[in-house]
Every structure is written in C-alpha cells, then in structure tokens.
Amino acid sequence: MRITSKGQVTIPAGIREQAGLLPHTQVDVEFDGEVVRIVRAKAGGRRGERLTRRLRGRGDVTMSTDAIMALTRSE
C-alpha cells in the first residue's frame, strides 16, 4: 500500500466493512510516536457543530423568539 502525493491512503474494503467505516464516517488519525492509527471520531457533538455552522444565518422567520415559544406552548 502506498501513500499518494496528497497524503491519501485507501483502506481496503474488507477492513472498512469489519470496522463499520461507511462513506462520510468521521475519523481521527492518532500517532503515538511509533504507530499511526485511524479511529472512528468520537460523537462528542462534532456533527451537531457542523450542522449548526451550516444552518446559522439561513433562517428567514420574522417572528420573535417569544412569539415562536408562545406558539409551541399553545394548545
């Protein structure tokens, strides 16, 4: 297996399947001074942070927060 000029490596399909690494799975690369490891990224809110960044500033609702809260609380 070789590293490309861009620093990319292809993980063999069998290993990806065994590890449950689907397309778009977030991974971290760890190095302990001797060994490089590719591990599934911890779920600690990274996806939520990405979604929040993507959606921030896209809303077009002209209602105030108080008005929205009143609607959600009414029966």
| Structural domain includes residue 25 | yes
Question: For residue 58, is it left (φ>0), alpha (ψ between -120 and 50) or beta?
Answer: alpha
| Domain boundaries, position 12 | 1-44
The pLDDT value given to residue 43 = 65
Hey, what are 49's tokens? 């942070």
Asked if the structure places residue 57 within a domain, the reply is no
Structure tokens at 60: 């077009």
Tell me whether residue 34 is in a domain.
yes
CB-CB contact of 39 with 51 (8 Å): no
- pLDDT at position 46 is 64
Q: Is residue 61 part of a domain?
A: no
State the total domains in the chain. 1
- Length, in residues, of the chain: 75
User: What predicted TM-score, i.e. pTM, was given to this entire model?
Assistant: 0.49
pLDDT in tens, the chain (75 residues): 899 999 999 999 999 999 989 888 888 899 999 999 999 887 655 667 778 877 888 888 788 889 889 989 876
With respect to residue 10, please indicate whether it lies within any of the assigned structural domains.
yes
Query: Under DSSP, is residue 17 helix (H, G, I), strand (E, B) or coil?
Result: helix
